[in-house]
Structure 1
Amino acid sequence: MAFMETLLSLISLLSSALLLHAAVEGPKAITLRLIHPFSPHSPFYPGNITNMEKIDLLIQGTEARMDHLFSTKREENWNGSSEVDDIVAPMKYTGFYYVAQVGIGSFPPLPGPKVIPYFFMMDTGSELTWVQCEGCDPCFPLQQQNFPYKRSQSYKPIPCGDPTCPTPKQDCFQSFCGFRISYGESPSPSAVGEIIRETLTFPSDFRGTESYSTLFLGCGFQSRNFRFPQQNQIGGILGLGFGGPRTFPLWNQVGKKRFSYFLCTSEHTNSKLYIGEGAKMVGPQVLSTPLLRGSKPTLYYVDLQDISIQNVRLGLQGSFSSGTAIDTGCPISLLVSNAYARVRIGFVQYFTQFHIQPYDNGSKPKDVPILDLCFPNPSGFNRYPTMTFHFKGADLVVQPPGIFMVGRNYICVALKSGPATMIGVFQQTNYKFSYDFELGDRRRGEVGALLFAPQDCGSPS
């Protein structure tokens, strides 16, 4: 549930999200193909939206992410068990957040669809998958019906105190296994409901579907302080986070040991998410660094040791001792204040050689983003630097499109200072990342391995 604040910040762009066509790579692996939200090929194409509006949304989402992670009571850990195969789901892309379309329930022999599809926000920092259910009071607005769980033939309630209930007894909802979630600062958005067993259905690459029964699903009955517009299309959250000893994210529930994704920046190319065998990464370009536990149990952490700007090391050893998370719920990367200050100096020194000085508060035009470090954009300038995150055993070289936001009169560095260090989505673009839990040395405290390699997003589609 880690990125719900960013969901609240970006919800006005939900109508610009795009449907995604499912395809399989490897034996029964989840493969999600997305259309860029700003592409005219998207059925949710919002029309023209300015670069400033896009950047503002990224900034707001990043700030909201920090509010959530560092000022919130996290949901209780939860757990469960299931023996199922890989799945395939369609997805769409909203801003810098991904939404999977998943069918829920079983409704034969009624005419029409045998399942009801909902869009879920995908989050690698959240362990609980939940949807708003029929009978909720209060509810957030949803364009379609809330999930009619009692009419589903595959709905299986879990009594309060049942040994299969993955949450503590104090979280029971009425007489059933329950969950309680709180997000952000007061007035805090919150969700309360029942955890049920239900069937989730995903399209296959053979124009059919694959269904997986008795998965844990949160059924939300009380949704407070969610600032969603009436045209909201998001029904809930798809949790892919790691979590604590009682957690059970979707990849774990379907019996898989890895998932991966790659994110493209072009509005005319596809991004994908895999769960299962299709998430394997091999080849000479594939690099690997250990996945670690950190202060936030649902997030994935790596050992960041230093940062370079255009191959010049900044000497930041020891600056990231509190941990570095890699997070799809954070739009723009954040660095702890001392590291950010040194990186800022590094970028200023780089541009100084081209006689380009940063805007100060007095000289910055009104149509320049509110990011901290922005420079004037000289006509014809194209000498942008790379930025390298030096992880333990592997270097992630971020190319200029993943560092800078460029407009007619500005070059802005897409980084922020924050209470923690997090590698956000903007800096993950044009790479494929795989979270593999069969790898890693448990004796050293490793919980898996993060593998990555440059990804060619292909030709426009």
Structure 2
Amino acid sequence: MAFMETLLSLISLLSSALLLHAVVEGPKPITLSLIHPFSPHSPFYPGNITDMEKINILIQGTYARMHHLFSTMRERNWNDSSEVDNIVATVQYTGFYFVAQVGIGSFPSFFGQKGMPYLLMIDTGSQITWVQCEDCDPCFPLQQLNFPYRRSQSYKSIPCGDPTCPTPNQDCFKSFCGFRIRYGEDPSASTAGAIVRETLTFPSDFGGTESYNDLFLGCGFKSYHYEFRQSNKIGGILGLGFRGTRTLSFLNQVGKKRFSYCLSNSEHTNSQLYIGGAMMVGPQVLSTPLLRGSIEGLYYVDLQDISIQNIRLRLQGSFSGGSAIDSGCPMTFLLPNIYARVRIGFVQYFAQFHIQPYDSGSRPRDLPWLDLCFPNPSGFDRYPTMTFHFRGADLVVQPTGIFLAGRNYICVVLKSSPVTMIGAFQQTQHKFSYDFELGDGSRGEIGALRFAPQDCGSPA
């Protein structure tokens, strides 16, 4: 099985750039093209790096994502001061996020276009959409102008305490409706600023544009501890977190009740993300409820068991705290007791072929930073599938979504963690739809996750 080229192409899917490709008119969806992070077309393109560096970037990105999620869970309350110099706050330039090109504001007489184009990171764990604005101090480096809000004809400020302000009064920025958000830890990055009303514009395949007026937008004026390079092209965040009933939610503001994506397994192809659109249907489409969980903004599913090559591990009742599914997390984390059982399952599977895992004494120095790795015998191609058994639906992950392989080794792409989270590596070659028109609210369901296997991608 020719793993190396295929598997390495999956690494760091979260640094893919979602360069806006088509747009909605009326009920049609916003359609975004997903560009692989290792494609020269991506703003996260790392240049000529080795295969091992690519693999370890995947792992580093997963830890960065987990640090961000834990910090948002712990740091619910900021102090009431309008200044945030004492706040530790970061989104690192690790390239583990999707990016959408969005036009912001209205500048017909200045720039010959309705909105200035900015690349915004997609975050399925955040409801706040924001961009760095002029007059920021301190600022993170940005290749283009910080958003010149004063010159935008559609810019509208919101006073602190105004009944239309979607954030608490303690988050006010000086005399304006405000926001404060942090990412990561030790030190974490943070941004604070004003919530304003603005116009977001998406280019159309047909040469026109589609605009959404008077949307809530965060205007970032204070940013700390961002480790972006001077060549940074990323201007802020596009929040696609749990919509709930909050008016701040981007999905609620644009009137969309579902979004979907399909993650490509090749840096040479583009795949798609849709905001809106029709319900996902078809003979292969499966559905499981979306649930609320312990980390605000994330989407949770009822994971009941796991199989290795159709052999159930009998893990029922082990998934305390729920199981999140997050396209912003590069790889999957499992609770320690679950990870231990899954590890044993893989060891037992390979043992029937007389393949034993590396231990601390036999482990080669050039292996990735993964716990479970095996020698990869020449010609061996009987790699197992891994199935996540959700309530009412089974997600069957093929070997290309489980293993990273080198010339002489193969490693299982899973990690032990205090939470269970299904990451992007295990989601490749499936289309996923987060549908909020479905679900039984009386049972705590916020929607339905629908999915089906699909060849994600078209030539880049």
TM-score normalized with structure 2 length:
0.89
Distance 1:135 1:13, change over 3 A: farther
Query: What is the identity percentage for the equivalent residue pairs of Structure 1 and Structure 2?
Result: 78
Match in the other structure for 1:435:
434
Deviation, structure 1 residue 16: 8.5
Ranges in structure 1 where 5+ consecutive residues have no aligned partner: 1-11, 78-93
> 1:194-343 residue pairs with structure 2 within 5 A?
194-242=194-242, 245-246=245-246, 248-278=248-278, 280-343=279-342
Amino acid at match of 2:145: Q
Distance 1:346 1:111, change over 3 A: closer
Deviation, structure 1 residue 36: 2.2
For 1:16 and 1:223, the matched residues in 2 are separated by 23
Distance 1:255 1:195, change over 3 A: same
Q: How many residues matched?
A: 433
For 2:122 and 2:105, the matched residues in 1 are separated by 19
Match in the other structure for 2:184:
184
Distance 1:111 1:137, change over 3 A: closer
- Name the stretch that deviates more: 211-220 or 46-55: 46-55
Deviation, structure 1 residue 50: 2.1
Query: Could you report, residue by residue, the CA deviation over 1:143-197 in whole angstroms, capped at 9, with x for unpaired residues?
Result: 1111011110000000010000001111111110001112232422111100000
Distance 1:133 1:409, change over 3 A: same
Deviation, structure 1 residue 19: 4.4
Deviation, structure 1 residue 44: 7.0
Match in the other structure for 2:142:
142
Counterpart of 2:156 in 1: which secondary structure?
coil
Deviation, structure 1 residue 392: 0.1
Match in the other structure for 1:129:
129
Deviation, structure 1 residue 260: 0.6
Ranges in structure 2 where 5+ consecutive residues have no aligned partner: 1-11, 78-93
Match in the other structure for 1:154:
154
Match in the other structure for 1:61:
61
For 1:318 and 1:269, the matched residues in 2 are separated by 40
Deviation, structure 1 residue 71: 3.7
Query: Could you report, residue by residue, the CA deviation over 1:361-385 in whole angstroms, capped at 9, with x for unpaired residues?
Result: 2222121101111111111111110
Match in the other structure for 1:91:
none
Match in the other structure for 2:395:
396
Deviation, structure 1 residue 454: 0.6
Distance 1:186 1:431, change over 3 A: same
Amino acid at match of 1:455: Q
Deviation, structure 1 residue 73: 5.5
Counterpart of 1:109 in 2: which secondary structure?
helix
8 A Cα contact 2:243 2:251, kept in partner: no
- Name the stretch that deviates more: 191-200 or 64-73: 64-73
Deviation, structure 1 residue 68: 2.1
Deviation, structure 1 residue 109: 1.7
Deviation, structure 1 residue 53: 1.3
Match in the other structure for 2:115:
115
8 A Cα contact 1:15 1:46, kept in partner: no
Distance 1:15 1:411, change over 3 A: closer
Counterpart of 1:59 in 2: which secondary structure?
helix
Match in the other structure for 2:404:
405
How big is the alpha-carbon RMSD for the aligned residues of Structure 1 and Structure 2?
2.3
> 1:359-398 residue pairs with structure 2 within 5 A?
359-398=358-397
8 A Cα contact 2:438 2:448, kept in partner: yes
- Name the stretch that deviates more: 287-296 or 16-25: 16-25
Deviation, structure 1 residue 113: 3.1
- Name the stretch that deviates more: 295-304 or 356-365: 356-365
Amino acid at match of 1:449: A
For 1:95 and 1:169, the matched residues in 2 are separated by 33
For 2:271 and 2:458, the matched residues in 1 are separated by 12
Distance 1:26 1:403, change over 3 A: farther
Deviation, structure 1 residue 406: 0.7
TM-score normalized with structure 1 length:
0.89
Distance 1:145 1:326, change over 3 A: same
Moved over 6 A (4+): 12-16, 23-26, 74-77
For 2:24 and 2:163, the matched residues in 1 are separated by 36
Amino acid at match of 2:376: N
- Name the stretch that deviates more: 105-114 or 400-409: 105-114
Amino acid at match of 1:384: Y
Distance 1:95 1:181, change over 3 A: closer
8 A Cα contact 1:76 1:167, kept in partner: no
Distance 1:18 1:188, change over 3 A: closer
For 2:49 and 2:262, the matched residues in 1 are separated by 24
Distance 1:238 1:351, change over 3 A: same
Match in the other structure for 1:80:
none
8 A Cα contact 1:96 1:426, kept in partner: no
Amino acid at match of 1:60: Q
For 1:413 and 1:428, the matched residues in 2 are separated by 15
Match in the other structure for 1:171:
171
Distance 1:23 1:149, change over 3 A: closer
8 A Cα contact 2:71 2:182, kept in partner: no
8 A Cα contact 2:307 2:313, kept in partner: yes
Distance 1:113 1:243, change over 3 A: closer
Distance 1:251 1:245, change over 3 A: closer
Is 1:353 the counterpart of 2:356 in the alignment?
no
For 1:240 and 1:13, the matched residues in 2 are separated by 17
Amino acid at match of 2:203: P
Distance 1:66 1:34, change over 3 A: closer
Distance 1:150 1:73, change over 3 A: farther
> 1:6-45 residue pairs with structure 2 within 5 A?
19=19, 21-22=21-22, 27-39=27-39
8 A Cα contact 2:18 2:33, kept in partner: no
Amino acid at match of 1:235: G
Deviation, structure 1 residue 111: 4.5
Match in the other structure for 1:455:
454
